[in-house]
Structure 1
Amino acid sequence: MKPELSNLYDRIIDDMVCGVIPMGERINISGLSKRYQVSNSPLREVLHQLQAEGFVEITANRGARTIDLTRFEVENINEILGCIEKSLINWVSMMEADGIVDNLERINKQLINIDKNDNYSITKIDHEFHYEMFRHHYNERFLKMWRIQRTTLDIFTSQLDKGKSRVDSMYDEHCLIIEMFARNDHQALIKLISEHHEASKRFIKEQFKLLRK
């Protein structure tokens, strides 16, 4: 993808995650053209890329809409992510990547003083932490699969009220993961990643229950 299209792609994804472009809503092409100060042609090209990755639905004579995830779909995405992350972390060599412990600590520290009501920023930090763990993997296609599924989940979870308790738990879980990277304890790391994923799944299920009340 050309740099200008890649930049436009990132801006649209970011707006979907933060809720500027809400889930399940029709996409106004002319409105987005004005927002991003681009012509319709590159915008349509990026929307087709987003359609191919499952972020956008385009129907003949009905235009484009952002995805609208059901509970069943969110749980499926979470299950897929769990499988991908276990496979990614199984590659031992990534534990020896230069600066990975320092980078993980730097990212995680952002959770200490963050506004616990800023769900968008919390989601972005958590995404960045996980990406730092996996980005050294040799298989770029596999990593891309993770990115698409994780970003899809981000679009949903950034709308959830995480609160101080969940953010504190996330921080503590990340600290344990960082410790296992520092110790180069691969088996313990695999176990922690699985537990961290299960904690995320429980939180999302609890949020669904609250949304139904």
Structure 2
Amino acid sequence: MADTREFKAEPPEGIDPLGASSEGASLYELIREDIIEGRLAANERLVVTDLARRHGTSTNPVREALQLLRGEGFVTFLPNRGARVRPIDQDFVRDIYEIGVLIEPALTRWFVSMATDEDIAELERLQGLIEENNFADTFRHSELDTAFHTVMYQRHYNRHAAELWWKHREVLRAVSRRFNFTLARRAAIIREHRELIAHVKAGNADEAAELIARHVEGSGRHVLEHMRARNAARAG
């Protein structure tokens, strides 16, 4: 049986999303996962020496990892109080996806004006794999979906915008892993991807930009709805 997780989405060429040492990047991923999964609680103090001991490393990579997490909003630094875990709440998710709603339409509009036959063929290939997987493996879906959108943004001349898109998408993607796709959201993703490809083929830049804004907002709202439902269940 083929490994359904063999596909790995990569950031746009020339973009180093972390800019960190390999050890710092590895610790960043481990600590971020602990925050998202709640193993490090909201507002918990992050002591560099404790984290170094826990992960069997020196303090420098831990400091590096915490600065990366600070840049993504997972960690806050307060004067004389050190680093603490930022609550992964609805405000956090809203702030992340709203940035995507603002910048992705501009990136998409540019892509439509520059898209080649090869770009369209790659979008169709990835969409075929997404539909073939049909959300059976959510990890694989996430990788394929990210690759689909990367096709559109990977050559954009504004590398700062492309890097900002990648970083915020990775944050939202990490948070959304805790929740399953509803049937309605699954149908919307497939439908909107197909419509987007059709707009790219037709050269409809404005229509594609409007669609991508709805698409990104729909993803963000889907996560928020899951968070509200979870909080209501806990309160009840």
- Fold match (TM-score > 0.5): yes
Q: Which of 22, 40, 65 is matched with 2:36 structurally?
A: 22
Choose the corresponding residue for 1:180, options 199, 202, 206. 199
- From the superposition, tell whether residues 100 and 10 of structure 1 become closer, same or farther in structure 2 (CA, over 3 Å): farther
In the alignment, which residue of structure 1 is the partner of 2:169? 150
Q: Which runs of 5+ in 1 are unaligned?
A: none
Distance in 1 between residues matched to 2:216 and 2:92, nearest whole Å? 17
Report the equivalent of 1:71: 90
Distance 1:94-1:53 versus aligned 2 partners, 3 A rule: farther
1:191 paired residue among 206, 210, 213 = 210
- Quick check: 1:47–1:56 contact (8 Å CA) kept in 2? yes
Structure 2 unaligned regions, length at least 5: 1-15
Q: Secondary structure at the match of 2:133?
A: coil
Q: Deviations over 1:109-166 (max 9, x none)?
A: 3322437364443333322222222122111111222222222212221111114542
CA–CA distance in structure 2, aligned partners of residues 53 and 121 of structure 1 = 24
**Equivalences, count:** 207
Query: What secondary structure does 1:83 align onto?
Result: helix
Superposition TM-score, scaled by structure 1 size: 0.74
C-alpha contact 1:137 1:143 (8 A) present in aligned 2: yes
The two structures, once aligned, show a CA RMSD in angstroms of 3.4
What is the CA–CA distance in structure 2 between the aligned matches of 1:62 and 1:131, rounded to whole Å?
Answer: 39
Distance in 2, Cα, partners of 1:110 & 1:6: 33
Larger radius of gyration: 2
Instruction: Tell whether the 8 Å contact from 1:58 to 1:64 is kept in structure 2 after alignment.
Output: yes
- Label 1:158 to 1:184 Cα distance change in 2 as closer, same or farther (>3 A): same
Q: Is the 8 A contact 1:135 1:143 kept in 2?
A: yes
* C-alpha distance 139-158 of structure 1, shift in aligned 2 (>3 A): same
Q: Percent identity?
A: 26
SS in 2 for 1:159: coil
TM-score of the pair, normalised by structure 2:
0.68
1:104 aligns with 2:123: yes
Structure 2: distance between partners of 1:14 and 1:128: 20
The DSSP-based 3-state class of the residue aligned with 1:91 is helix
State the one-letter code of the partner of 1:173: E
Q: 1:160 aligns with which of 179, 182, 185?
A: 179
